[in-house]
Structure formats: C-alpha cells, structure tokens
Amino acid sequence: MESGKEDSGLKRELYSVIEPYSSGFLKVSDLHTIYWEQSGNPDGHPVVFLHGGPGGGTSPTNRRFFDPEFYRIILFDQRGAGKSTPHACLKENTTWDLIDDIEKLREHLKIPEWQVFGGSWGSTLALAYSQSHPDKVTGLVLRGIFLLRKKEIDWFYEGGAAAIYPDAWEPFRDLIPENERECFINAYNKRLNCDDLETQYAAARAWTKWEMMTAHLIPNDDNIKKGDDDYFSLAFARIENHYFSNKGFFPSDSYLLDNIDKIRHIDATIVQGRYDVVCPMMSAWDVHKVWPEADFKVVKDAGHSANEPGITAELVAANERLKNKIKAGR
C-alpha cells in the first residue's frame, strides 16, 4: 500500500511551466461568472482540475501535473474564488451549483467526456460530480480525500488537530472569546459574515493561517504567507466556512460513501499522505474499503499538500498510468 513499490518507470516529476492557449469567463447564473483556461494540447485528452478549499482558486502550478503533449488541461475557479466573480460571494454557492457549473463548462468547451482530478475539497467535488455524471468521466485522480463528514470537520476545526499543532491552533482559538468556543465553525461564521470588513479580514487571516500552517509535513513558508493576503483569505475562509456550516449541502453524512457504486466502473487512483492532518487518512481508508477497485497510494513521508514531493510524484504517476491506458486502448 505504501507508495513507491511499483510503476517505477513512470514519470514522477512535474512537467515544465506552460501558459494557457485560451481563457475566458463563463456566466453560469445571473449572479456568478467563472474564470476558465485551457493549456496543453488543444486536440488532447481533456482533463479538468478541481481546486481545493472550497474557495482556494487555481494557480499556474496546477497545469504541471499533466503531460501537455497528451492532455487538454482545463482549470477553472469555482464560484467566488480566484478570478471568478463576485469575489467571496456565498449566494447561490452550493456543491450542486458547482456540479452544474462543471457541466456548463464541459458543454461550453464542447467536450463529450473528460478525466477529473481533484484534491482535498477538490476530491469531494470530484466524487460528487462523478456520482452525478458518471457517463462523463473517463478517469479519476483523487488526493487527500475529504468527505465533509461531521467527524472530519470536528477533528480539524473543533480541537482534534490541536493536539499535533498547538502552536498553530492557539492563534485560531484565541480570536474567539471563551464563551463562544463551544463551536468554532459557528463563531467564525458570525465574524466572516458580519458588517465590519476589518473583523471579516481578521477572522479570514486566522482561519487561513491555521490551515496553511498544517498543510505540509514540513512547514512551507510560502504557503503560510497566503494567510497574510486579505483578498485570498477572505474568499478561502468565507467559502470554506459556508460549506462546512452547511455540511457540504449533502443529504446525509455518508452520502459520498453511499454512492460509490455509481462510479465503481471508473478507473481511479487515490493518493493519500500518511501524516495528513487536514484530511486525515481515515477518510481515504473508508473510501478504499468500499471501493477496493481504485488504486490506493499511501505516501509514507507526506502530509496534505499536493506540492509535497511524494504526493506530487504519485499524482503525476497516476496521470501517466491513465494516459498509457488511453493510448493502449486507441
């Protein structure tokens, strides 16, 4: 199960820096417009990248997990995130709205079906989208599985992970008065949605830094600095909190696990850092148990981030495996 024991001939490093060959904005509702871009091979096999958060947005590095000669690489910023507008907006912003947006983007780009790649919240959305549209997905690569169950939210936001990162936890905790600490999700929700912008920014910075300080096995200063960017932090914190407050808008705590049968036929790889504190391995393990057909790669020396060397290597290799299977089937 631990990674690195097979497929040693596959490429395991990020591809070279590339620029988009096209980009644009797609109006997906009367309120929301999403940013999208395409890079790689215009005639290649389509793959869509689903970013984390929700609210995290995409970055140029995200293009580099895929062979640009083989793949037509589609990135987009989910509602309220990145370059999408309106910024940090919570209205008409649910999992089901995002699933509809993915379909609208696929149709806008005239793509019959595509590979889906997502980590953290992106894995949540990838599972939900695939279960809603299983006939449109040619393959799945999932990282840092997050099922948005109560025990996962409680672990990270109500004090569980503080046992490992007490130094990072205390600034997050201390922003909230003691009499409101029975539920940090609710306490932050109040501040992230109040009328005072400075109160919103202070809460957003604390929320974002907590996650960024715990995302790598070895702390990454560049990642942590994202918490100082008020524009990024506000979208990241507000949208995450909105989704977590609403239990991901799923009808039940076990919704994604209960619907694995709908996607069991899809060729999939799950990549999980052994020491992931943000999305602990218990969730990937639960998916593995109900979906043993999916390749399950545990990276023994990694935490949560896709940019850790072992995680990156397995994600690139997973795309290479799917690429080779598609080539062999032509």
pLDDT tens per residue, range 161-181? 999 999 999 999 999 999 999
Known active-site residue 120 = yes
144 and 50 share a domain? Answer: yes
Question: DSSP strand E in the chain: where?
Answer: 22-27, 33-40, 45-50, 71-76, 114-119, 137-143, 268-273, 295-299
273 and 141 share a domain? Answer: yes
Chain centroid to CA 321: how far?
21
32 and 125 share a domain? Answer: yes
Of 115-129, 169-183, 219-233, 312-326, the poorest mean pLDDT is in: 219-233
At 40-77, the pLDDT tens digits run 999 999 999 999 999 999 999 999 999 999 999 999 99
Give the orientation angle of helix 184-192 with respect to helix 230-245, to 10 degrees: 130
Query: Which residue out of 84, 120, 132, 283 is catalytically annotated?
Result: 120
39 and 137 share a domain? Answer: yes
Q: Read off the pLDDT of each residue in 290-303 and give the average, rounded to a whole number.
A: 98
Please say which residue of 230, 249, 268 terminates a domain.
Answer: 249
Going by the DSSP 8-state scheme, the letter that residue 4 receives in this structure is S
319 and 175 share a domain? Answer: no
51, part of any domain: yes
Closest listed residue to residue 110, CA positions, set 51, 58, 42, 64: 42
Domain count, the chain: 2
**Per-residue model confidence (pLDDT) at position 6:** 53
**Per-residue model confidence (pLDDT) at position 8:** 61
Write down the pTM of the prediction.
0.97
Known active-site residue 304 = yes
At 140-165, the pLDDT tens digits run 999 999 999 999 999 999 999 999 99
- C-alpha 108/C-alpha 248 separation (Å) is 26
Provide the percentage of residues in the chain whose pLDDT is more than 70: 98
Please say which residue of 214, 249, 284 terminates a domain.
Answer: 249
235 and 264 share a domain? Answer: no
232 and 270 share a domain? Answer: no
- C-alpha 221/C-alpha 305 separation (Å) is 13
Query: Which residue out of 67, 77, 267, 276 is catalytically annotated?
Result: 276
**Per-residue model confidence (pLDDT) at position 222:** 84
3, part of any domain: no
Please say which residue of 206, 233, 249 terminates a domain.
Answer: 249
pLDDT band at 3 (very low <50, low <70, confident <90, very high): low
Q: At 68, which CATH number?
A: 3.40.50.1820
**Residue 1 pLDDT > 80, yes or no?**
no
16, part of any domain: no
Domain residues for 81?
22-149+251-329
Query: Which residue out of 123, 295, 304, 305 is catalytically annotated?
Result: 304
117 and 192 share a domain? Answer: no
Q: Read off the pLDDT of each residue in 291-306 and give the average, rounded to a whole number.
A: 97
At 72-82, the pLDDT tens digits run 999 999 999 99
Known active-site residue 216 = no
174 and 298 share a domain? Answer: no
Tokens of residue 268, six digits: 């999939």
141 and 39 share a domain? Answer: yes
13, part of any domain: no
243 and 314 share a domain? Answer: no
37 and 135 share a domain? Answer: yes
